[in-house]
Amino acid sequence: MAERERRQAPPYGGVFRARTRVMDRSDIQRAVWRMAHEIIEANQGTEDVVLIGLQTGGVPVAVALAEALTSIDQAEVEVGSLDVAFYRDDIGLRPVLPEAVTDIPWDLDGRVVVLCDDVLFTGRTIRAALNALADYGRPRAVQLAVMIDRGHRELPIRPDYVGKNLPTRRDEVVDVNSDGVDLGEMVR
């Protein structure tokens, strides 16, 4: 789970308590392989495709997808990372600090960017990411891959590739980690 989410899910300063294991390690691996196949199908291969993981939770998702794409398509796929702090719409309302430095060392003009994140929730992070991408060039297309779509969208944003659709309550917290995906809540 991103440090940001840990800090900002009520009750503040609490710790995450897992209630249900939603996916285990092999479920994630299967979902990654399926999503990789879907990316290849939708783009007729991996030419021009770059994966950009959103800091911090999306980066391991992007890396896992890249490994799968490489072994399926036998071609190297570039992976970058993006921190959207400076593009968020809640600057001034709450503490907003970047968690890592953005790493997009190539020109995005004409490329197909697959944004990768762990959990899709309100859609506000993706909105910020779309604005940020525009400052790096003009991609031919931007697609969205997420491990978990938990609903509660506040903006007209939908994912192209989903690991798992997970209906949640607003006050629940989804934690995607290297062992699997847990559903739970923050407790004092």
Dihedral of CA 82/88/90/92: which sign? Answer: positive
Report how many residues bind another protein under the rule CB under 8 A. Answer: 42
Q: At closest approach, how far in Å is the CB of 124 from another protein? A: 6
Residue from 18, 40, 72, 96 in contact with another protein (CB under 8 A)? 96
Rounded to whole angstroms, the Cα distance separating 56 from 48 reads 24
Rounded to whole angstroms, the Cα distance separating 110 from 48 reads 8
Residue from 13, 26, 44, 97 in contact with another protein (CB under 8 A)? 97
By the rule CB under 8 A, 161 interacts with another protein: no
Q: At closest approach, how far in Å is the CB of 77 from another protein? A: 22
Residue from 52, 87, 161, 182 in contact with another protein (CB under 8 A)? 87
Binding mask 108-147 for another protein (x = CB under 8 A): ---------x-xxxxxxxx----xx--xxx----------
Rounded to whole angstroms, the Cα distance separating 127 from 142 reads 12
- Cα-Cα-Cα-Cα torsion 101, 103, 107, 110, nearest 10 degrees, comes to -110
Residue from 93, 156, 178, 188 in contact with another protein (CB under 8 A)? 93
By the rule CB under 8 A, 175 interacts with another protein: no
- Contacts (CB under 8 A) with another protein, residues 32-61: none
